[in-house]
């Protein structure tokens, strides 16, 4: 899941800025009492840069859209070329913004300058040759992932979408292992390219004044870079006891189903058996780990299919949720221009993403929708990006973004938490709301998706930060990956992995260079947001049964935060909705308390841990 936008801080064109000395020119001679730049110079620089980029971002966004929805040599060439130009210009602007570090300016202007300096993801160096190579590598990695297939033989190939669907439903351990290994063949050729990319991008980060890309990424959260991982550890510590209890139960049930020779009860869980290509969410194995006592858990997938939902109807229903909160309907162009299903005649990126192509009203999603309850939730997630994008589109260009990147990911998931039986009954997908005795089953199903994901959401960037900081070399990439997966998730590779493998590259966000900590933050924030909105909506029942569907008061409270965009530190945006400026995972503990009590009962005679 991904949000895509194009703005000054991520893109730029090679063009001169008026009213500001380019970074490449030698500084003018100054005296101690005459600074080289003034606050007026800084303001002129920022305004000129925003005007320039506002004109240039649409063709760049369209080139990226064309490549994502039609992967071929032509679209790859055009996208790589424009991406290089834009990345170079963004890098130039970031370096020029850094020249104002010692100029006294007001808080608003300082924030804009800092956003310009820190918002690059893989900054290109000044060297044209290296910059061109960085763009080429990025395009190649994108293409390798998008076109990736596992082939048993020359004429027998299967893509990621079909393999993922099979892994969600098959209980054949041999087939699951075959697909798990097969998809990881796709990423092996990425390894050397990725290592080269890190070296080049680190040069670009150094030119911006950062030690490396790791420090750059960790500097984007309105706090010192070294403080950010400490904050993540604090939040993880709040959730870990619940995760450990869930892990213990799932491992025991899988051991009972597959045999303890395949799932040892004193080791991490083999990654291919958890119903997901990356073992990042476990909801697809609910049938193997559900309570023994009969529980009514709504079968959303079955209901969607029984009621003849297609891709468009699923998206329309998700839109209606936002409409019930008082948000305007999506523009007609959304329905004309989005990709809802996988075309039969070309390669595309099926990974779900939300786009605002003109940074105003050209909203789109890109998906290869399957008719499942999981995809129903994903659609709500992606539309959450779109409604957030539209809410802040009147802000200055540099403020058209998420308070922090976790906020953008959390909004749609917050709405999805309201996909409760109460909501499903209101829209006719179920006939009756199960009574509270069934809540453990529903909470378990939710935890298999959300709580199981949290340590994965944390460890992906733990791996990248170490790689980008040069703490490990390419020969250790895969070893570090599995060390972290075992440490945080208690998940292990089902077979020995060769040092030449590049298993991180089998996850879209790694070759695509999409920071991943945003998803960890989103899984914390969405429960905070949900509780705050349920309070506004006046729902006094258990938090896991609350739905804000139909509450315009909740919609107004949500929009008040969304329309701030990136104009203030995320702590202020958080306080606008929740009344506190601290992220807090205790809401998760409260939400799942009935499940934790049940898990502890199930685990009382089991060996837990790994």
What is the set of active-site residues? 382, 509
Beta bridge partners of 2: 353
C-alpha 220/C-alpha 9 separation (Å) is 12
Three-class secondary structure of residue 372 per DSSP: coil
Contact 466, 480 (CB under 8 A): yes
Contact 41, 103 (CB under 8 A): yes
Contact 354, 3 (CB under 8 A): yes
Q: In what order do the strands lie in the sheet with 363-366?
A: 2-5, 353-356, 363-366
C-alpha 362/C-alpha 608 separation (Å) is 50
Token duo for residue 245: 């209890």
385 assigned to a ligand binding site: yes
Contacts of 129 (CB under 8 A, 6+ apart): none
C-alpha 552/C-alpha 11 separation (Å) is 36
User: DSSP states of 254-276 as a string?
Assistant: HHHHH-TTTS-TTSPEEGGGSSS
Token duo for residue 37: 């730049």
400 assigned to a ligand binding site: no
DSSP strands (E only) in 330-396: 353-356, 363-366
221 assigned to a ligand binding site: yes
Distances (CA, A) of 213 to 7, 192, 200, 303, 578: 20, 18, 10, 46, 32
381 assigned to a ligand binding site: yes
518 assigned to a ligand binding site: yes
C-alpha 595/C-alpha 444 separation (Å) is 7
Closest by CA position to 528, among listed 570, 588, 457, 576: 588
Contacts of 593 (CB under 8 A, 6+ apart): none
Annotated binding site: 221, 381, 385, 409, 518
Annotated binding site for chloride: 221, 518
Annotated binding site for Zn(2+): 381, 385, 409
């Amino acid at each position: 899941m991904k949000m895509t936008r194009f703005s000054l801080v991520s893109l730029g064109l090679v063009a001169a800025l008026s009213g500001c000395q380019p970074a490449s020119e030698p500084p003018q001679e100054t005296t101690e009492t005459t600074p080289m730049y003034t606050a007026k110079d800084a303001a002129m620089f920022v305004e000129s840069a925003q005007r320039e980029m506002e004109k240039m971002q649409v063709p760049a966004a369209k080139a990226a859209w064309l490549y994502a929805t039609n992967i071929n040599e032509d679209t790859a060439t055009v996208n790589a070329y424009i991406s290089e130009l834009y990345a170079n210009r963004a890098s130039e602007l970031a370096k020029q913004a850094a020249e104002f570090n010692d100029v006294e300016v007001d808080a608003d202007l300082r924030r804009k300058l800092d956003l310009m300096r820190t918002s690059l993801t893989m900054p290109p160096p000044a060297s044209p040759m290296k910059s061109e190579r960085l763009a080429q590598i990025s395009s190649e990695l994108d293409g390798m992932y998008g076109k990736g297939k596992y082939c048993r033989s020359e004429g027998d190939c299967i893509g990621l979408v079909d393999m993922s669907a099979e892994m969600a439903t098959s209980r054949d351990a041999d087939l699951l292992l075959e697909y798990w290994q097969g998809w990881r063949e796709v990423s092996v050729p990425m390894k050397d390219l990725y290592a080269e990319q890190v070296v080049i991008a680190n040069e670009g980060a150094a030119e911006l004044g950062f030690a490396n890309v790791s420090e750059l990424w960790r500097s984007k959260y309105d706090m010192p870079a070294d403080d950010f991982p400490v904050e993540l550890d604090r939040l993880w510590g709040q959730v870990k006891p619940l995760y450990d209890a869930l892990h213990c139960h799932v491992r025991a049930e899988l051991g009972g189903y597959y045999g303890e020779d395949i799932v040892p009860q004193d080791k991490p869980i083999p990654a291919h058996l958890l119903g997901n290509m990356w073992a990042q969410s476990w909801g697809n194995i609910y049938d193997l780990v559900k309570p023994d006592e009969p529980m009514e858990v709504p079968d959303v997938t079955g209901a969607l299919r029984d009621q003849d939902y297609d891709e468009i109807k699923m998206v329309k229903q998700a839109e209606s949720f936002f409409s019930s909160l008082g948000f305007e309907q999506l523009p007609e162009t959304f329905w004309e221009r989005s990709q809802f299903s996988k075309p039969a005649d070309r390669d595309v990126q099926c990974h779900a993403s939300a786009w605002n192509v003109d940074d105003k009203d050209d909203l789109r999603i890109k998906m290869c929708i399957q008719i499942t309850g999981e995809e129903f939730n994903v659609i709500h997630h992606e539309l959450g990006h779109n409604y957030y994008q539209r809410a802040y589109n009147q802000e200055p260009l540099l403020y058209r973004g998420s308070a922090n990147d976790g906020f953008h990911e959390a909004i749609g998931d917050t709405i999805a938490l309201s996909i409760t039986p109460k909501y499903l009954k209101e829209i006719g997908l179920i006939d009756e709301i199960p009574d509270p005795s069934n809540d453990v089953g529903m909470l378990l199903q939710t935890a298999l998706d959300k709580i199981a994901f949290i340590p994965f959401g944390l460890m992906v960037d733990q791996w990248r930060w170490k790689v980008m900081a040069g703490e490990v070399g390419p020969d250790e990439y895969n070893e570090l990956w599995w060390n972290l997966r075992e440490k945080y998730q208690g998940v292990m590779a089902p077979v020995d992995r060769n040092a030449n493998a590049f298993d991180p590259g089998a996850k879209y966000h790694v070759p695509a260079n999409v920071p991943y900590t945003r998803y960890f933050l989103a899984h914390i924030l969405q429960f905070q947001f949900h509780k705050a909105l349920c309070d506004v909506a006046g729902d006094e029942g258990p938090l896991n049964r609350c739905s804000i569907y139909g509450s315009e008061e909740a919609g107004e409270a949500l929009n008040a935060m969304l329309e701030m965009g990136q104009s203030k530190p995320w702590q202020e945006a958080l306080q606008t909705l929740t009344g506190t400026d601290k992220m807090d995972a205790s809401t998760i503990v409260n939400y799942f308390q009935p499940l934790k009590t049940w898990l502890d009962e199930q685990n009382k005679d089991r060996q837990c841990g790994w």
